[in-house]
Amino acid sequence: MKIKRIGVAAIALAAAGVLVLTGCTSGSPEATDGASTSAVVTTNGSEPQNPLVPTNTNETGGGKIIDSIFAGLVYYDADGAVHNDVAESIDTEDAQNYTIKIKPGLKFTNGEDVTASSFVDAWNYGANTANGPQLSQYFFADIEGFSYDEDVAELPGLKVVDDTTFTVALIQPESDFPLSLGYSAFYPLPASAFDDIDAFGENPIGNGPYMLDGEGAWKHNERISLVANPDYDGPRAPKNGGLDIVFYATQEAAYADLQGGNLDVLDAIPDGALSTFQDEFGDRAVTQAAAIFQSFTVPDRLAHFGGEEGKLRRAAISKAIDREEITDVIFSGTRTPAHDFTSPVIDGYSEDIPGSEVLDFDADAAKDLWAQADAISPWSGTFQIAYNADGGHQAWVDAVANQLKNNLGIDASGAPYPTFAEVRTAITDRTIETGFRTGWQADYPALFNFLGPIYATGAGSNDGDYSNADFDALLQEGRADTDLASANEKFQQAQEILFQDLPAIPLWYSTVNGAWGQTVEDVQFGWNSVPLYYEITKSE
Amino acid sequence: MAGYIARRLLQAIPVLLGTTFLIYFMVFAMPGDPIVALFGDKTPPPQVLEQLRERYNLDQPFIVQYFIFLGNIFRGDLGTSFSGQPVSEILAETFPVTLRLALMAVIIEMVFGIAVGLISGLRKGGIFDASALVVSLILISLPVFVVAFVAQFIFGIQLGWFRTTVGPGAPTQDLILPAIVLATISFAQITRLTRASVIETDGQDFVRTAASKGLSRSRIVPVHILRNSLIPVVTYLAVDFGVLMVGATVTEGIFNVPGVGRTLYQAIIRGEGPTVVSFVTVMVLIYLVVNLLVDLLYAVLDPRIRYAK
From A233's Cα to the closest Cα of chain B, the distance in A is 30
By Cβ distance, the residue of A58, A222, A425 closest to B36 is A425
Q: Which residues of A touch B38 (CB under 8 A)?
A: 49, 58, 135
Q: Tell me whether residues B255 and A253 touch, CB distance under 8 A.
A: yes
| pLDDT at residue A34 in the model | 54
**Can you spell out the DSSP letters for B221-239?**
IIIIIIHHHHHHHHHHHHH
Q: Tell me whether residues A249 and B256 touch, CB distance under 8 A.
A: yes
Residues A364, A221 within the same domain = no
Among A84-98, B36-50, B218-232, B256-270, name the most confident range. Answer: A84-98
Residue A395 lies in a domain: yes
Give A151's pLDDT tier (boundaries 50, 70, 90): confident
Q: Does B26 touch chain A (CB under 8 A)?
A: no
* CB contact set of A505 (below 8 Å; sequence gap of 6+): A295, A296, A297, A298, A314, A317, A318, A321
Q: Which residues of B touch A198 (CB under 8 A)?
A: 84
| pLDDT at residue A113 in the model | 94
From A222's Cα to the closest Cα of chain B, the distance in A is 6
Residue A72 lies in a domain: yes
Q: Does B93 touch chain A (CB under 8 A)?
A: yes
Give A156's pLDDT tier (boundaries 50, 70, 90): very high
Say yes or no: ipTM exceeds 0.90.
no
pLDDT score of A142 more than 80:
yes
| pLDDT at residue B35 in the model | 79
Q: Tell me whether residues B40 and A252 touch, CB distance under 8 A.
A: no
Alpha helix (H) residue ranges in A168-306:
177-180, 197-202, 251-259, 277-281
Residue A103 lies in a domain: yes
CATH number at residue A526: 3.40.190.10
Q: How many domains does chain A have?
A: 2
- Chain B, window 166-195: residues with a beta carbon less than 8 angstroms from a chain A beta carbon: 167-170
Asked if residue A64 lies in contact with residue A287, where contact means CB atoms within 8 angstroms, the answer is no
Give A25's pLDDT tier (boundaries 50, 70, 90): very low
pLDDT score of B51 more than 60:
yes
Residues A211, A306 within the same domain = no
Residues A523, A487 within the same domain = no
By Cβ distance, the residue of B32, B48, B52 closest to A421 is B32
- At residue A539, the 3 state secondary structure works out as strand
pLDDT digit string (tens) for A57-77? 888 889 999 999 999 999 998
Q: Best mutation site among A150, A213, A222 for testing chain B: the one with the most B CBs within 10 Å?
A: A222
| pLDDT at residue A20 in the model | 37
| pLDDT at residue A5 in the model | 42
Residue A254 lies in a domain: no
Q: Tell me whether residues A262 and B45 touch, CB distance under 8 A.
A: no
Residues A531, A493 within the same domain = no
Please report the beta strands in A363-418, taking only residues with DSSP state E, as ranges in sequence order.
Answer: 382-388, 411-417
CA A87 from centroid of its chain's CA atoms: 23
pLDDT digit string (tens) for A215-248? 889 988 889 999 999 999 899 999 999 999 999 8
Q: Best mutation site among B38, B42, B158 for testing chain A: the one with the most A CBs within 10 Å?
A: B42
Q: Tell me whether residues A22 and B271 touch, CB distance under 8 A.
A: no
Q: What is the mean pLDDT of residues B178-193?
A: 89
From A109's Cα to the closest Cα of chain B, the distance in A is 23
| pLDDT at residue B275 in the model | 79
Residues A48, A190 within the same domain = yes
**Bigger pLDDT: A390 or A138?**
A138
Residues A451, A361 within the same domain = yes
Q: Tell me whether residues B153 and A256 touch, CB distance under 8 A.
A: yes
From A374's Cα to the closest Cα of chain B, the distance in A is 33
Residue A273 lies in a domain: no
Residue A284 lies in a domain: no
Q: Could you give the CA distance from residue A355 to residue A494 in angstroms, rounded to a whole number? A: 11
Q: Tell me whether residues A135 and B85 touch, CB distance under 8 A.
A: no
Q: Does B30 touch chain A (CB under 8 A)?
A: yes
pLDDT digit string (tens) for A448-494? 999 988 999 888 788 889 999 999 999 999 998 888 889 999 999 99
CA B242 from centroid of its chain's CA atoms: 4
Q: Which residues of A touch B88 (CB under 8 A)?
A: none
CATH number at residue A368: 3.10.105.10
Residue A398 lies in a domain: yes
By Cβ distance, the residue of A1, A256, A439 closest to B39 is A1
Q: Tell me whether residues A257 and B165 touch, CB distance under 8 A.
A: yes
**Radius of gyration from C-alpha coordinates of chain A:** 24
Phi, psi of A420 (to 5 degrees): -60, -45
Q: Which domain holds residue A310?
A: 289-511
pLDDT digit string (tens) for A322-381? 999 999 888 888 889 999 999 998 888 998 999 999 999 999 999 999 999 999 999 988
Give B307's pLDDT tier (boundaries 50, 70, 90): low
Residues A476, A521 within the same domain = no
Residue A269 lies in a domain: no
Q: What is the mean pLDDT of chain B?
A: 83
Phi, psi of A301 (to 5 degrees): -70, -15
Residues A229, A319 within the same domain = no
Q: Which residues of B touch A14 (CB under 8 A)?
A: 143, 145
Q: Which residues of A touch B160 (CB under 8 A)?
A: 260-261
Residues A342, A452 within the same domain = yes
Residues A199, A90 within the same domain = yes
Residues A234, A335 within the same domain = no
Chains A and B form CB pairs within 8 A to the count of 189
Residues A190, A332 within the same domain = no
Give B91's pLDDT tier (boundaries 50, 70, 90): confident
| pLDDT at residue A1 in the model | 46
- Chain B, window 217-276: residues with a beta carbon less than 8 angstroms from a chain A beta carbon: 250, 252-256, 258, 262-263, 265-266, 269-271
Q: What is the mean pLDDT of residues B80-103?
A: 85
